[in-house]
Amino acid sequence: MENMEFKLKKLSKAEIGTFPTPIHRLYKMENKLNYRPIYIKRDDLTGIGPGGNKIRSLEFILGDAIKKGKNIIIGSGPIQSNLCTLAAASCSKLGLKCILVHSGDEPRNCTGNVLLNKILNVKTHFIGNVTKEERNKYVNDLYRKLQMEGKAPYIIENGASVGLGAIGYVNASIEIIKQCREHDFSIKNVFVPGGNGGVAAGLIFGNALLGMPFKINIISVEDEKEELSKNIENIIREIEVIMDMPFDYEVEKACNIIDDYRGGGWGQNTIESAQEVFEFPKEEGIFIENVYNSKTVVGMIDMISKSKVDGGVCFLHTGGFGSLFAQF
Ligand SMILES: *Cc1c(COP(=O)(O)O)cnc(C)c1O
């Protein structure tokens, strides 16, 4: 652990969030499922904007941008992208300029993350319904244009789900184990959503180098197991280079990737996940959104009910609160 902490300390980091995020029990869920202990790790409370996992990633990505003397940050994604809003809010705090590029048309109703972006007064390009590749091309063109004007732009790639962003979750794995030791939490299974695989890759890497104290269960919200596994592997290769530490495991042996709860893929509800958006807050007073965390909670509850896990369980809540307001 000391070696990992030493390597992490050498990386440039913008201190934007509030850490450690709390871990606490979900007593009502424990009673309902007759299973204990069940914990929640509150990465929905990372301290900037509506919070969420991307703040951990942005600390390292924006730290890198600042170190390189960059001062215009370009974020891109779909209209309700959590990354875009959290990037804009973080740039406000750090005094950096931020530009957002959205695939999609400017919505007539300013809801969810779009409203937050408007309040932040961030310059936003709506470029219509284009593919991810076309959006990336637009971003690259914008980058070159700004460079030509003598400015210092910096692109946040792939919704921050890249090696440097995933470092935030290598860091989080150390944070969780320290909290377990300090507070006597008994956590064996961690449940997290898997989109592009950044959160997953960081946790898997950190957990493996810590000697596998946890079993990392990744609930895919988008792709089939093979595809998500490949994406995670690619990000882990980037982490290896950044940390200068080898990862000598097969991804699928170092974690448990589950693709049974993703329904039609990204943003496509299942009947159960649509219900869970209402069930979970009613029991726990904590809101979950409909793309990532509802499917993760459904998967976790189902696996507990079917006795597919043993020992203490922890749901890592990745936030996304801003998008919830545009999902109904
Ligand atoms: C981006 C995001 C994730 C996870 O994304 P990965 O690409 O798998 O790292 C999970 N939850 C929320 C709310 C997000 O915004």
Calculate how far, in angstroms, residue 308's C-alpha sits from the geometric centre of ligand 1. 24
pLDDT, average across residues 126-155: 97
Calculate how far, in angstroms, residue 315's C-alpha sits from the geometric centre of ligand 1. 14
Which of 235, 292, 297, 315 gets mutated to test ligand 1 (max ligand atoms within 8 A of its CB)?
A: 292
Ligand 1 atom with least separation from CA of 57: 9
pLDDT digits 0-9 by tens, 286-303 = 999 999 999 999 999 999
Given pLDDT bands bounded at 50, 70 and 90, which one contains residue 323? very high
Cβ distance 86 to 54 under 8 Å?
yes
Cβ distance 55 to 16 under 8 Å?
yes
| Buried b or exposed e, range 153-180, using 16+ CB within 10 angstroms | bbbbbbbbbbbbbbbbbbbbbbbbbebb
pLDDT at 265 over 90: no
pLDDT at 317 over 90: yes
Ligand 1 atom with least separation from CA of 292: 11
Q: Are strands 97-103 and 72-78 parallel, antiparallel or unpaired?
A: parallel
- Name the residue with the closest Cα to ligand 1, atom 4: 195
CA-based diameter of the chain, in Å? 62
Task: List for the chain the helix, strand, coil content (%; round to 5).
Answer: 50, 15, 35
Tokens 């219900």 belong to: 275
Ligand 1 atom with least separation from CA of 196: 7
Calculate how far, in angstroms, residue 151's C-alpha sits from the geometric centre of ligand 1. 30
Res 248: pLDDT: 94
pLDDT, average across residues 79-101: 98
Residue 190, amino acid:
V
Given pLDDT bands bounded at 50, 70 and 90, which one contains residue 50? very high
pLDDT at 208 over 90: yes
pLDDT, average across residues 235-257: 97
Q: What percent of the chain has pLDDT over 90?
A: 97
Distance between CA 155 and CA 135 in Å, rounded?
12
Q: Give, in degrees to the nearest 5, the angle at Cα 326 between 321 and 328.
A: 105
Residue 7: count of CB within 10 angstroms of its CB: 16
Calculate how far, in angstroms, residue 74's C-alpha sits from the geometric centre of ligand 1. 18
- Name the residue with the closest Cα to ligand 1, atom 13: 320
Distance between CA 81 and CA 270 in Å, rounded?
20
Q: Which two tokens stand for residue 11?
A: 């990386």
Ligand 1 atom with least separation from CA of 158: 7
pLDDT at 252 over 90: yes
Ligand 1 atom with least separation from CA of 319: 13
Calculate how far, in angstroms, residue 83's C-alpha sits from the geometric centre of ligand 1. 8
Conformational region of residue 180, where left means phi above 0, alpha means psi within -120 to 50, and beta covers everything else: alpha
Res 168: pLDDT: 98
Q: What is the mean pLDDT of the chain?
A: 97
Given pLDDT bands bounded at 50, 70 and 90, which one contains residue 76? very high
Residues with CB under 6 A from ligand 1: 52-54, 82, 159, 161, 193-200, 292, 318-320
Given pLDDT bands bounded at 50, 70 and 90, which one contains residue 1? confident
Omega into 37 within 30° of 0, i.e. cis?
A: yes
pLDDT at 268 over 90: no
For 60-76, give the DSSP string: HHHHHHHHTT--EEEEE
pLDDT digits 0-9 by tens, 150-203 = 999 999 999 999 999 999 999 999 999 999 999 999 999 999 999 999 999 999
